[in-house]
Structure 1
Amino acid sequence: MNTIKFMTVFILAVFSSNLLAYGSSSSSKKACNKPKFTQFTPPHMAVVAAQSEFSFQTSTSTNPDSIEVSVKKQPVEITINKVNNGYSVSGKLPASLQDTFARVEIDAKATNGCKGSDGWLLKIED
């Protein structure tokens, strides 16, 4: 009988300590505030000419030095300007892209180090 009581207490103690290990730790973690991207120009799925210019805006939490833009895996040179509500970013589609669909891909980090990405699709014609 004592062995059964001992085993019951032992099993309950093991389970209760395992459950305590899964306590809420969310209060000790910082929320990740990713950079946001808006005002894509030309808009998603627009038909554009080769070497057209594009632009978008980023949130104020974006680290401007971390902004990278590529189109069909080709890096694009960009211009970044500070505006009231963040940064205005502009660039030009690569000359090699003609008669194809291409995604303008954006990658950046926020000032707190959180990574964000976005983009939009364009149809490039001659």
Structure 2
Amino acid sequence: MNVTKMFNPMLFIAATLFTGTVSAYESGLTEEICKKPQFRDFSLPVFQEPEKTEIPPESTFSFMVSPWAKPSTIKLTAKNQELEYTVESNSSFHRVKAKLPAAFNGQYVRLNVSAKAELGCSGQNGWLVKVTDK
């Protein structure tokens, strides 16, 4: 019995199994590495039924962004207008602080935030608030 003929089928099977395992591992690896930025601890009461909570005009607010987000990519808008904000960062989170413009008095305002993670994927969130009229 020739030893070379016996090992060729085994070598083929081993190579096929190894290749399948590697490609399955790599495709799932990308999704695990890049975590989307998360947004939490919004400081204003969100408008919802049945409470219908309103906030004072020109309210200041803050929220937290996960530490794996790039602070330079944070975008904060209200009614399609970019809002000015400040960012305080530490190793646990980025705290974003802003103030609602006076032009939004008496209106419903959707605050939208987005950011990109260090590895490129992005996340977004938003909150609806009702501003009382002056």
Higher strand proportion (structure 1 or 2): 1
Q: How far off is 1:99 after superposition?
A: 1.1
In the alignment, the residues of structure 1 paired with residue 128 and residue 90 of structure 2 have an alpha-carbon distance, to the nearest angstrom, of 25
Please give the residue correspondences for 1:60-79 in structure 2 after superposition, counting only pairs within 5 Å. 60-79=67-86
CA 1:84/1:91 → structure 2, altered by over 3 Å: closer, same or farther? same
In the alignment, the residues of structure 1 paired with residue 132 and residue 122 of structure 2 have an alpha-carbon distance, to the nearest angstrom, of 32
In the alignment, the residues of structure 1 paired with residue 44 and residue 128 of structure 2 have an alpha-carbon distance, to the nearest angstrom, of 10
Higher helix proportion (structure 1 or 2): 2
Q: How far off is 1:26 after superposition?
A: 5.0
AA partner of residue 90 (structure 2):
V
Residues 71 and 94 of structure 1 are in contact (CA less than 8 Å); yes or no, is this contact kept in structure 2? no
The number of equivalent residue pairs is 104
Instruction: List alignment gaps of at least 5 residues for structure 2.
Output: 1-19, 48-52
AA partner of residue 96 (structure 1):
A
Q: Work out whether 1:42 is the aligned partner of 2:49.
A: no
Residues 74 and 116 of structure 2 are in contact (CA less than 8 Å); yes or no, is this contact kept in structure 1? yes
In the alignment, the residues of structure 1 paired with residue 24 and residue 98 of structure 2 have an alpha-carbon distance, to the nearest angstrom, of 40
Q: How far off is 1:83 after superposition?
A: 3.3
Match of 2:89 among 78, 82, 91: 82
Q: Aligned-residue CA RMSD in angstroms? A: 1.7
In the alignment, the residues of structure 1 paired with residue 106 and residue 24 of structure 2 have an alpha-carbon distance, to the nearest angstrom, of 49
In the alignment, the residues of structure 1 paired with residue 44 and residue 89 of structure 2 have an alpha-carbon distance, to the nearest angstrom, of 20
The normalised TM-score by structure 2 is 0.71
* Structure 1: 4+ residue segments shifted above 2 A: 23-27
Q: How far off is 1:84 after superposition?
A: 4.4
In the alignment, the residues of structure 1 paired with residue 111 and residue 92 of structure 2 have an alpha-carbon distance, to the nearest angstrom, of 22
CA 1:50/1:109 → structure 2, altered by over 3 Å: closer, same or farther? same
Instruction: List alignment gaps of at least 5 residues for structure 1.
Output: 1-22
Q: Work out whether 1:55 is the aligned partner of 2:57.
A: no
Q: State percent identity of aligned pairs.
A: 35
Residues 45 and 55 of structure 2 are in contact (CA less than 8 Å); yes or no, is this contact kept in structure 1? no
